[in-house]
Amino acid sequence: MAELSQVPYLLRAARGEVLDRPPVWMMRQAGRYMKAYRDLREKYPSFRERSEIPEVAIEVSLQPWRAFQPDGVILFSDIVTPLPGLGIEMDIAEGKGPIIHSPIRTQAQVDQLRPLEPEESLPFIKTILQALRQEVGNQSTVLGFVGAPWTLAAYVVEGKGSKTYSVIKGMAFSDPTMLHQFLGKLADAIAIYVRYQIDCGAQVVQMFDSWAGQLSPQDYETFALPYQQRVIQQVKQTHPDTPLILLVSGSAGLLEKMAKSGADIITVDWTVDMADARTRLGNLKVQGNLDPGVLFGSHEFIKERILDTIRKAGHGGHILNLGHGVLPNTPEENVAYFFETAKQADNLLAVHA
């Protein structure tokens, strides 16, 4: 009986067990579409407060857990959270995302970066992850997450989010030596941070290389993939049993290359049919891949897409998720319906078959 297992459901699937239905969670399941989050944001207007004051971050992480009982509970934080520990000051602006006060553009700035010491600079992460494990016990799996080197470098070099990535691409295509040094330093810091999250209680860790899909396949192989590999190799040396998930946004042209990262599970977005993704990825496990826009549809439509995705993914090695984060203004009630339906998928599929 699944309910009696000491190992939570998502972790069992991530380790390769074939289960009755895929485990389910949602990227960005904590956040703006939830009224409870918006209310709390009025009391703590700064994102850094919400994510770095342990009691607040614990509360936000648990809001979707209490509302929907997802199979995965993700730490509420951001990919730029470790940067101040390297000496890179940042803020997260409402509606805009990360802002880097002094973007890195020179060799001297790269040379000045400090190695990450998470016990010193990220003590709140330990408090949060320990509390989440305590709270969910073996009823759910606690996920940690980090940004990948290319995506973090994109924020730090550009100074903010970008549509064109022209500053970092200018650097990549004119002064690659400096950028490679920077990516290497980021990779080592991120590996330390993943290990720390695992030591603090994260049972699965997802690495977001959100903006690596902005690179051509050949540039992905030069500036993104080797640094994903460098993080994953270092983590696997010390923590071989913790499943690692990789996400690249807009990854349709990159799936086979993502498979070379060393990640155990590849996130697939909705620009690829899940059955095609399975063929292209061979034995690797997959996560995804509903269009977040589906959650603006009718209940019937949401149910059909859930079942269709599960059928296409086939038995085992699949974590049901959206292909990217849940969108602001998504009706909470549809999120609730998504989770309820996904958790009955074994019965629903038997009826439909």
Active site residue 78: yes
Of 9, 21, 33, 41, catalytic: 41
Residues 6+ apart with CB under 8 A from 62: 73, 132, 135
Coil, helix or strand at residue 168: helix
| From candidates 8, 22, 23, 31, binder to ligand CP3 by CB under 6 A | 31
Rounded to an integer, what distance in angstroms lies between the CA atom of residue 76 and that of residue 176?
Answer: 34
Contact track, ligand CP3, 231-250, x by CB under 6 A: ------------------x-
Q: Does 210 bind ligand CP3 (CB under 6 A)?
A: yes
Is 154 annotated for ligand binding?
Answer: no
- The span from the CA of 247 to the CA of 209, in Å, is 6
With left for phi above 0 and alpha for psi between -120 and 50, is residue 282 left, alpha or beta? left
Residue 254 near residue 220 (C-beta atoms within 8 A): yes
50 assigned to a ligand binding site? no
Q: Is 121 annotated as a binding residue?
A: no
For the chain, how far is it from start to end, CA to CA, in angstroms? 23
Measured between alpha carbons, how far is 51 from 82 in angstroms, rounded to an integer? Answer: 12
Environment class of 42 (CB within 10 Å of its CB; exposed 0-12, middle 13-18, buried 19+):
exposed
Which CB atom, from 132 or from 178, has the smaller least distance to ligand CP3? 132
Point out which span in 72-80, 123-131, 218-226, 310-318 binds ligand CP3 (CB under 6 A). Answer: 72-80
Q: Does 338 bind ligand CP3 (CB under 6 A)?
A: no
Q: Which stretch, 89-97, 259-267, 278-286, 293-301, contacts ligand CP3 (CB under 6 A)?
A: 89-97
Residue 30 marked in a binding site: yes
Distance CA 139, CA 137 (A): 5
Q: Which of 12, 15, 28, 280 is catalytic?
A: 28
Phi first, then psi: give them for residue 110, nearest 5 degrees.
Answer: -65, -40
Count other C-beta atoms under 10 Å from residue 331's C-beta: 11
Eight-state DSSP code of residue 322: E
Residue 325 annotated as binding site? no
Which one, 144 or 317, has the nearer CB to ligand CP3? Answer: 144
Select the residue interacting with ligand CP3 from 33, 65, 68, 76 (CB under 6 A): 76
* 155 in active site: yes
Task: Output the known binding site.
Answer: 28-32, 78, 155, 210, 324
Task: Output the known binding site for substrate.
Answer: 28-32, 78, 155, 210, 324
Q: Which residues are catalytic?
A: 28, 32, 41, 78, 155
Which residues would be at the binding site for ligand CP3 (CB under 6 A)?
27-32, 41, 47, 74, 76, 78-79, 92, 95-98, 145, 161, 208, 210, 249, 325
